[in-house]
């Protein structure tokens, strides 16, 4: 049985910020981003350990973006904590 994805509030805020930015500056890129996100979420539902270990998270590279998540094997849930652009200060953003 596959895992379920649960976006934590921080990841939801990240997605909102990404959407606002892309819609303002790169409107045609937004649907491509969502499609890429959907494909990558489907991949980690099936293969939750696909991402490399990064501190307390697993990190999945998604073009210019990084998805930070944790796997709860007991509940079969993947908790997505952050979705950040790779150019950001990752250490500081993860501690927010």
Q: Which fold has domain 4-94?
A: YaeB-like fold (3.30.2310)
For the chain, the structural domain boundaries read 4-94
In the predicted structure, residue 1 carries a pLDDT above the cut 80: no
Q: What is the pLDDT of residue 95?
A: 87
pTM summary value: 0.93
CA–CA distance from 70 to each of 24, 28, 40, 46, 85 (Å)?
Answer: 31, 31, 15, 14, 18
Q: What is the pLDDT of residues 56-89, one digit of tens each?
A: 999 999 999 999 999 999 999 999 999 999 999 9
């Amino acid at each position: 049985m596959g895992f379920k994805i649960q976006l934590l509030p921080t990841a939801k805020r990240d997605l909102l910020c990404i959407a606002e930015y892309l819609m303002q500056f790169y409107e045609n890129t937004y649907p491509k981003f969502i499609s890429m996100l959907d494909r990558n979420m489907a991949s980690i539902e099936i293969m939750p350990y696909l991402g490399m270990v990064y501190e307390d998270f697993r990190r999945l590279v998604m073009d210019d973006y990084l998805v930070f998540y944790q796997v709860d094997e007991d509940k079969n849930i993947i908790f997505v904590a952050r979705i950040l652009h790779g150019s950001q200060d990752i250490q500081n953003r993860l501690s927010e």
